[in-house]
């Protein structure tokens, strides 16, 4: 090149992205490495990072809340970490304001008020033996499920049959002392049909699974022996799931919509998981690439510039 025309060239550094996870994996099945590998193949500096460890979050362009499945017992610490991530300048998804809204299951009441079909529920805080015994009358069912507002993995979730023994009533009083809870009728379809989970990346449908509990149980989570199979979402499933998403603002980057069939045959929302949804990427060969596509195509992430 002629003198004065030569230019120095600084290679573009790969964008850094952290997948928040837990420190102790234990028996959890985590398949985030499928998306991490896909992003690395595309030139990203991607890694799984424990949310509770000391980390300089400012060194990351993007932080995704992924398999932080131990946060429920440390929710205040978890939220403090998320606020620190946002304050560092890293782009957090889903953002703190979405997490704060979604962390308490009372968000179901808000969605129901916006026209979303939700499993009928009764809400309470603490309570006496008489309060818990009366739930069967309130829900007009002889079999119910009760769980904490803030929980995960079916922890402290009870399937109850009327009438309750004094021992069980005392256990409920002790378990929910000082804690918010909600109760729902036990839906027989969880045994016969199971639950459906539909996954959305940046508001777009990716894939779906069906979760059925093992014989003699009612919990569909795989750590409790639930059977997980990939399914093609029917138009009915997608219609209800997208009705749920349409009632949530802002549109979450990652969402798992759990649906179940009511006794009248209609689908209803069990949970809209917007914090750390298990994405079951291994259940669909194209899911990791779609997740990476969503990251690269997102209007939000597209504005992120490397540090």
Contact 135, 145 (CB under 8 A): no
Helical pair 287-297 and 32-41, crossing angle rounded to 10 deg: 60
pLDDT at 219: 54
* 1 pLDDT more than 90: no
Q: What is the pLDDT of residues 259-273, one digit of tens each?
A: 999 999 999 999 999
Within a 10 A sphere around the Cβ of 227, how many other Cβ atoms? 13
Q: Which of 5-9, 144-148, 248-252, 297-301 has the lowest mean pLDDT?
A: 5-9
Q: What is the pLDDT of residues 91-113, one digit of tens each?
A: 999 999 999 999 999 999 999 99
Contact 260, 189 (CB under 8 A): yes
Q: 14: which residues sit within 8 A by CB, 6+ positions away?
A: 43, 44, 45, 306
Within a 10 A sphere around the Cβ of 56, how many other Cβ atoms? 8
Alpha helices (runs of H) in the chain, residue ranges in sequence order? 32-41, 75-88, 96-102, 107-113, 129-133, 135-139, 166-175, 189-192, 235-246, 287-297
Q: What is the pLDDT of residues 154-178, one digit of tens each?
A: 778 999 999 999 999 999 999 999 9
pLDDT at 8: 39
Contact 198, 237 (CB under 8 A): yes
Q: Which residues of 14-23 are buried (b: 16+ CB within 10 A; e: fewer)?
A: ebbbbbbbbe
The model's pTM is 0.86
Q: What is the pLDDT of residues 193-236, one digit of tens each?
A: 999 999 999 999 999 999 987 565 555 455 555 679 999 999 99
Long-range contacts of 190-193 (CB under 8 A, 24+ apart): 190/218, 190/220, 190/260, 191/218, 193/260, 193/261
- Can you say whether residue 256 is alpha, beta or left, with left for phi > 0 and alpha for psi between -120 and 50 degrees? beta
Start-to-end CA distance of the chain, whole Å, equals: 31
Contact 223, 215 (CB under 8 A): no
Contact 189, 262 (CB under 8 A): yes
Contact 190, 218 (CB under 8 A): yes
- The rounded percent of the chain whose pLDDT value lies above 90 is 76
- The rounded percent of the chain whose pLDDT value lies above 70 is 87
Contact 67, 27 (CB under 8 A): no
Q: What is the pLDDT of residues 231-257, one digit of tens each?
A: 999 999 999 999 999 999 989 999 999
C-alpha R_g of the chain: 22
* 62 pLDDT more than 70: yes
pLDDT at 72: 84
Mean of per-residue pLDDT scores for the chain? 89
Closest among 161, 123, 159 to 141, alpha carbons compared: 161
Within a 10 A sphere around the Cβ of 42, how many other Cβ atoms? 15
């Amino acid at each position: 090149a002629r003198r004065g025309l030569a230019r120095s060239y600084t290679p573009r550094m790969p964008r850094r992205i952290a997948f928040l996870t837990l420190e102790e994996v234990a028996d959890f099945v985590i398949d985030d490495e499928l998306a991490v590998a896909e992003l690395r193949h595309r030139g990203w500096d991607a890694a799984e990072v424990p949310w509770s460890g000391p980390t300089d979050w400012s060194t990351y362009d993007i932080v995704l809340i992924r398999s932080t499945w131990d946060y429920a017992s440390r929710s205040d610490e978890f939220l403090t970490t998320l606020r620190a991530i946002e304050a560092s300048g890293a782009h957090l998804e889903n953002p703190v304001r979405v997490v704060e809204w979604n962390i308490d299951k009372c968000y179901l009441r808000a969605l129901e008020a916006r026209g979303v079909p939700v499993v009928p529920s009764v809400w309470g805080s603490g309570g006496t033996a008489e309060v818990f015994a009366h739930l069967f009358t309130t829900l007009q069912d002889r079999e119910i499920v009760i769980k904490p507002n803030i929980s995960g993995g079916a922890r402290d979730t009870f399937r109850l049959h009327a009438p309750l023994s004094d021992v069980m009533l005392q256990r409920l009083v002790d378990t929910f002392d000082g804690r918010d809870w909600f109760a729902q009728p036990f839906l027989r379809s969880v045994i016969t049909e199971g639950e459906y989970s539909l996954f959305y990346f940046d508001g777009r449908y990716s894939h779906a699974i069906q979760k059925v509990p093992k014989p003699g149980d009612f919990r569909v989570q795989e750590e409790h022996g639930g059977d997980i199979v990939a399914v093609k979402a029917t138009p009915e499933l997608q219609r209800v799931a997208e009705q749920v998403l349409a009632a949530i603002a802002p549109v979450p980057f990652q969402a798992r919509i759990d649906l179940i069939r009511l006794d009248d045959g209609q689908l209803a929302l069990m949970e809209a998981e917007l914090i750390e949804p298990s994405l079951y990427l291994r259940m669909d060969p194209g899911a990791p690439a779609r997740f990476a596509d969503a990251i690269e195509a997102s209007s939000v992430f597209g504005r992120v510039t490397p540090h």
